[in-house]
Amino acid sequence: MRGGAIAGVFVLLLPIFFASLFSHASPTILKDLNAPKFRHSRLAKSALLRQTSNEEQSELWTPLAHQGWKPCTESDGASTVPEKSEGYVQVFLDGGLNQQRMGICDAVVVAKILNATLVIPQLEVNPVWQDSSSFMDIFDVDHFINVLKDDVSIVKELPDEFSWSTREYYGTAIRPTRIKTAPVHASANWYLENVSPVLQSYGIAAIAPFSHRLTFDNMPKYLQHLRCKVNFQALAFVPHVRHLGDALINRLRNPPSEGNMVSNNYLREVTDLKPKQGAGKFAVLHLRFDKDMAAHSACDFGGGKAENLALAKYRQVIWGGRVINSQFTDEELRSQGRCPLTPEEVGLLLAALGFDNSTRLYLASHKVYGGERRISALRNLFPLMEDKKSLASSEERALIKGKASLLAAVDYYVGMHSDIFVSASPGNMHNAMVGHRTYNNMKTIRPNMALLGQLFLNKTLTWPEFQESVVEGHKNRQGQIRLRKPKQSLYTYPATEILMVLRLPYRSVLFGPQIIVYYAYIM
């Protein structure tokens, strides 16, 4: 069933599995751990001594100004459930949590297109993430069905007469109810032409593979709105994920030391009239720097011969050496922004952007290639860095332990509640978060990889020069609305279809219809 997985997507899925092969016990790991602590030691030294003004801090933590967009909640009369269902649509979703999330949204829309009843999507066990959690283990299924009840009919399970339609059934032979040939980004018409007849004949159609099988372009508006409704309203995590997330958020906003200070140092607290900027706020850093990514990028991460050899060997084993980047030099790759940022480089970026050493930084991450030795470069700059483990007890984490999708769900939840979200590398989590936070108009910093690559190559750059370039190069990368271009994902770029220009009355009087042009222009 995974035969159709696109190579590019697959690459994004590989990480943790291989990272975990190289855990502490293996002797080969010793070489991997030779990562240098500071590769950009000159900049890092200055960064450690950085001073940030109150003004800088205040600007950094100020929420995004309203950009004149609001979620489109217009009803166009199309959201009614058809009186008679044409049959059942079943999908099997592969990938990690965030890829499955997009598949769920698309599945609802496909059921809508076909006037069919959707069976709660089945989540495949991914060979990389190894989590067998079902939809109901991750998402609040009753909330899901209820929010969509006026749009699409959804059932938790197939009725008995169709109980034969299982993964095993499709895995053992060619079956007429299996739709195997959906092209990537198939149109609504493709489903009407190819799936409707199957529904009519059998009353059921099982679509697999289904990831990325519905186009983003030339879709009727009401279907795009439905996609948005699923993604941003219907999909809520199960209560225990939300409760753990809330506990983490609460601890990030109210660190114990500050609480103690209030009681122990009451007088000081009272006389300190100027509250610290950024107090009670926190940022989430999604750091993806695993062996898979490091090897695939074919960049040099400063771990010397041993590391370069280990990564080259890995490329050979996993991709047979067929990695496009390996034909370029490290310098070329860096200046094109094609090298993932190391924890140290992310740290320097954040320091340059004005995050001081009292920043509450939540690390949303799985294993980091090079382990604590690499992370320590980041921790030096941000001593108050936290993660699930440092903030919650083992008992509190019992229900999510070892479950990649639930761990990712908690990170997603905390990420959605952070004052600032930064993703150190592109990928499914980054895209999902950028889209969702755009929808809520929240600050999200997107690193300018090409700029950073060039700055890190320059060995004579001073800290003030570095900082100035970084600040300048990230002015427009903090959550400003970007319109979706053809082929781009609606889930990453919800503007225009999902968000609509908010027409304030007085502006309409002043500018009339030009306001649309105006907002499109400032993006």
Which residues form the interface with ligand NAG (CB under 6 A)? 82, 86, 114-115, 192, 196, 357, 383, 458, 460-461, 465
Beta carbon nearer to ligand NAG, 182 or 293: 182
For 161, which DSSP code? Answer: G
Ramachandran class of 429: left when φ > 0, alpha when ψ lies in -120 to 50, beta otherwise: alpha
For 160, which DSSP code? Answer: G
Please, how many CA atoms are within 13 Å of residue 152, restricted to the half-sphere of its CB?
Answer: 33
Beta carbon nearer to ligand NAG, 12 or 114: 114
- Which CA distances in Å does 274 have to 230, 270, 384? 43, 10, 22
- Least distance (Å) between residue 199 CB and ligand NAG: 8
- Which residues lie below 8 Å from residue 394, measured CB to CB, with a gap of 6+? 401
Beta carbon nearer to ligand NAG, 114 or 287: 114
Beta carbon nearer to ligand NAG, 86 or 396: 86
Whole-angstrom distance, CA of residue 313 vs CA of residue 293: 14
Beta carbon nearer to ligand NAG, 85 or 438: 85
SS3 36: coil
- Least distance (Å) between residue 39 CB and ligand NAG: 17
Whole-angstrom distance, CA of residue 21 vs CA of residue 312: 16
SS3 404: helix
- Least distance (Å) between residue 510 CB and ligand NAG: 42
Please, how many CA atoms are within 13 Å of residue 462, restricted to the half-sphere of its CB?
Answer: 2
- Least distance (Å) between residue 176 CB and ligand NAG: 19
Is there a contact between 498 and 490 (Cβ–Cβ < 8 Å)?
yes
Beta carbon nearer to ligand NAG, 82 or 220: 82
Beta carbon nearer to ligand NAG, 51 or 393: 51
- Least distance (Å) between residue 177 CB and ligand NAG: 17
- Least distance (Å) between residue 86 CB and ligand NAG: 5
- Least distance (Å) between residue 113 CB and ligand NAG: 7
Token output for 382: 């941000």
Rounded CA Rg of the chain: 24
Beta carbon nearer to ligand NAG, 283 or 311: 283
- Tokens 């480089």 sit at which residue? 345
Q: In what order do the strands lie in the sheet with 283-286?
A: 385-386, 361-364, 283-286, 420-423, 443-445
Whole-angstrom distance, CA of residue 253 vs CA of residue 264: 19
- Least distance (Å) between residue 383 CB and ligand NAG: 5
- Least distance (Å) between residue 231 CB and ligand NAG: 23
Ramachandran class of 5: left when φ > 0, alpha when ψ lies in -120 to 50, beta otherwise: beta
Beta carbon nearer to ligand NAG, 128 or 385: 385
